[in-house]
Chain A
Amino acid sequence: MIKGITIGQYFAGRSPLHRMDARMKIVLTLAYMVVIFLCKNFWALGCTALAAVLCAALSGVPAKMILRSMRPVLILVLFTGVLNVFYTNGPNTHIWFQYELWRVTLKITREGVFTAMFTTIRILCLIAVSSLLTYTTTPSMLTTAMERLLLPLAKLKVPVAVFAMMMTLALRFVPTLIEETERIMNAQKSRGANLETGSLLQRVRAFVPVLVPLFVSAFRRAAELASAMESRCYTGEGPRTSLKQLRLRPWDFGWLAGTVLLTAGIVALNHFFRAVI
């Protein structure tokens, strides 16, 4: 029943995106997010969106999976789009359509339609690129990269390494705990527990026999893990090296150059064509 939940939706592969250094991927994803908000006209927006599509094609991740990651935000996108169409007003807007409904004037302006298109494309591009990041990077690689990127904060006495370790362990135990939950649910169902029917309150109450053993076993696992780590001299102090070494390679700089080029192109396009929003 709860099998099939995937945390960290890694899609195994050996594409150029998979092989990019995880730190570079995070930085470039952030850069892309800035770039997409720099776009002022359709030429610039089109180029940025095209870049996202190219990356998606390069990654080898099936288009279906990327579209699926957009599904949860679809309602948000539609909602903001509709609002933008009707609520954009200004001194020199071009009115395309006007309709008097009771005492409210429904107005569709050219600027409104453009803003709606811009927001929609921007949000979709953001989702696509950030889901590409998680599709092409394993969760453990992501946390390692985050740790390395945040390392300068350690100078300010922020326990970056400890946070990263906590992240890694939390991710590590998600599948274990899902399995455990399933086992306990089956065990209680075998004793006649009714977990699937009844009112909300009944179902919450019915889950006590699952939650109590789950917490007990989570604490037991945590204690066991802590002693296993301590017996291997883990203290949380000192700089730690990592099994998976992150190394910047020539192609990583190629990606960086590509992103710089894209940014420069956007700035140029913004300059040469009239801004529409």
Chain B
Amino acid sequence: MNAIETQSLTYQYPNTGKGTPAAIEGINLAAQPGQLLCIIGHTGSGKSTLVQHLNALLKPTGGAVFVDGKNIWQNKASIRQARFWVGLCFQYPEYQMFEETVEKDIAFGPKNMGLPGDEIRARVLRAAEYVGLPESCLPKSPFDLSGGEKRRAAIAGVMAMEPRALVLDEPTAGLDPAGKEQIQQLILRYRRETGRTVLLISHNMEEVARLADQILVMHQGRAALCGTAAEVFGRAAQLREMGLSVPVVTDIFERLRAAGLPVSAEIFTEEQAAAELARLKREGVRLP
């Protein structure tokens, strides 16, 4: 059974004319439990519209959404359950913080679930731990944190609901390299320690190559490509046509291969690139 599944999901925004194409059309997405699925696509390709269906914020105009095999639009209770089963963290989530203290803000989700006080406290501490916020931050005002800390506190606010699947919409957008690295690390660690499903929207191909088990490419409201990093980044020309790119190292190795070097076609991360270069050096391969 898939953790999250959509069947020919279609959504047409209301009040749009008859000729307007649907925002998303016929999306079949399947994320297995514990998988890290990355969604990439050009601005306006329908990524954000897609993820807003996963926790029942938007009602599909066609098709269905299943979370752990359960249709989320079955009844009122299943809709509410979807909110907590799928934790959706929007772009720039720090702008949604409103409580006086970081602790209270992280506790907002669990409180809405109606959990007892000690359970809420335990979840807040656990979530703060996952995102690497020291306990000394908890009594502070969210506005006194640094940019990166705020972002991590906001992500903790979604993690504290302990959803079966975590959906993050561009969690590293607008952060400095150190902040980006921290977020990527925490996503990897969260997945490793909880074994829960993670969906991630990203524009950064290096990030996608590094994190994803599976990649879904959206283009003009449709799922254009879906597969592993090798399957998706192997189609560089098609990606470029859609206004996307491949990781820089993949590009470099593609050129090396074009120049006649016998290098692998499946180089997507810096680690893989370093290993491949080391192999070339060991084998004494030179440019022809």
Complex partner residue of A187 from B14, B15, B90, B112, CB under 8 angstroms: B90
Complex partner residue of A184 from B15, B55, B89, B96, CB under 8 angstroms: B96
- Given A184-B95, A186-B90, A192-B161, verify A3-B112 contact (CB < 8 Å): no
Residues of chain B within 8 A of A4, CB atoms compared? 14-15
The residue in chain A whose Cβ has the minimal distance to the Cβ of B143 is A216
The residue in chain B whose Cβ has the minimal distance to the Cβ of A208 is B98
A190 pairs with B158, CB closer than 8 A: yes
B98 pairs with A189, CB closer than 8 A: no
B98 pairs with A190, CB closer than 8 A: no
B90 pairs with A192, CB closer than 8 A: no
Q: How far is the CA of A216 from the CA of B93 in the complex (A)?
A: 13
Residues of chain B within 8 A of A183, CB atoms compared? 90
A195 to chain B, nearest CB (A): 11
Complex partner residue of B84 from A192, A208, A209, CB under 8 angstroms: A192
A190 pairs with B95, CB closer than 8 A: no
Residues of chain A within 8 A of B57, CB atoms compared? 186, 189-190
Residues of chain B within 8 A of A193, CB atoms compared? 108, 112
Q: Does A64 contact B (CB under 8 A)?
A: no
Residues of chain B within 8 A of A212, CB atoms compared? 98
Q: Does A191 contact B (CB under 8 A)?
A: yes
Q: Does A15 contact B (CB under 8 A)?
A: no
What 1/0 mask marks residues of chain B from 79 to 123 whose CB sits below 8 Å from any chain A CB? 010011001111001011110000000001100110000000000
Q: How far is the CA of A180 from the CA of B95 in the complex (A)?
A: 10
Most buried by A among B57, B93, B98, B157: B98
The residue in chain A whose Cβ has the minimal distance to the Cβ of B97 is A213
- Given A3-B15, A4-B15, A184-B96, verify A190-B108 contact (CB < 8 Å): no
B83 pairs with A216, CB closer than 8 A: no
Complex partner residue of B83 from A3, A189, A208, A213, CB under 8 angstroms: A189
Residues of chain B within 8 A of A80, CB atoms compared? none
B144 to chain A, nearest CB (A): 13
Q: How far is the CA of A217 from the CA of B52 in the complex (A)?
A: 22
Q: Does A9 contact B (CB under 8 A)?
A: no
What 1/0 mask marks residues of chain A from 198 to 216 whose CB sits below 8 Å from any chain B CB? 0000000000110011001
B108 pairs with A191, CB closer than 8 A: yes
B108 pairs with A209, CB closer than 8 A: yes
Q: Does A227 contact B (CB under 8 A)?
A: no
A216 pairs with B95, CB closer than 8 A: yes
Task: Report the interface size for chain B: residues with CB under 8 A from the other chain.
Answer: 25
B75 to chain A, nearest CB (A): 15
What 1/0 mask marks residues of chain B from 156 to 175 whose CB sits below 8 Å from any chain A CB? 01100100000000000000
Residues of chain B within 8 A of A191, CB atoms compared? 108-109, 112, 157-158, 161
Q: How far is the CA of A213 from the CA of B83 in the complex (A)?
A: 21
Residues of chain A within 8 A of B55, CB atoms compared? 190
What 1/0 mask marks residues of chain A from 158 to 194 whose CB sits below 8 Å from any chain B CB? 0000000000000000000000000110111111111
Residues of chain B within 8 A of A217, CB atoms compared? 95
B90 pairs with A190, CB closer than 8 A: yes
A213 pairs with B98, CB closer than 8 A: yes
Residues of chain B within 8 A of A216, CB atoms compared? 95, 98, 143
Residues of chain A within 8 A of B108, CB atoms compared? 188, 191-193, 209
Q: Within A52-85, which residues are at the interface with B (CB < 8 Å)?
A: none
Q: How far is the CA of A177 from the CA of B277 in the complex (A)?
A: 52
B107 to chain A, nearest CB (A): 10
19 inter-chain pairs at a CB distance below 8 angstroms, sorted by A residue, are: A3-B14, A184-B96, A186-B52, A187-B93, A189-B57, A189-B83, A190-B57, A191-B109, A191-B157, A191-B161, A192-B109, A192-B113, A192-B161, A208-B98, A212-B98, A213-B96, A213-B97, A213-B98, A216-B143
Task: Name 7 extra pairs, CB < 8 A, besides A184-B96, A190-B57.
Answer: A4-B15, A184-B95, A186-B90, A189-B57, A191-B109, A209-B96, A216-B95
